[in-house]
Amino acid sequence: RHPVAHNELGILYRKKGRFQEARQSYEKALALYPEFHFARRNLAILCDLYLWDVDCALEQYERYTHAVPEDEEAGRWLADLRTRKGR
């Protein structure tokens, strides 16, 4: 029941190629603590680069960059996703 533990577990799952389990771990972290920006960023990256789920990635990057506007790298990733999505 600790969001940091679920986030860390998600990272381990991603590194092992267990992408659906990683997604579940990040989502569990966010269910416990919706403002946990590290988990949101990790979920966005997972959806974008590993699951090729553009809609998920776009939603998570938008929510993350709204909360953490100073993360310029994530802002660039969001712009790239919007371009790919045709927005």
Q: Please measure the distance between the N-terminal and C-terminal CA atoms of the chain and give it in whole angstroms.
A: 37
pLDDT mean over 11-40: 98
Token digits for 61?
Answer: 């990057």
For residue 82, pLDDT over 80 is answered with yes
Q: Compute the mean pLDDT over every residue in the chain, rounded to the nearest whole number.
A: 95
**Rounded-to-5 percentages of helix, strand, coil across the chain:** 80, 0, 20
Question: For residue 30, what pLDDT band results from cuts at 50, 70 and 90?
Answer: very high
Give the per-residue pLDDT at 87. Answer: 66
Dist CA 36 CA 16 (whole Å): 23
Give the per-residue pLDDT at 85. Answer: 84
Question: For residue 71, what pLDDT band results from cuts at 50, 70 and 90?
Answer: very high
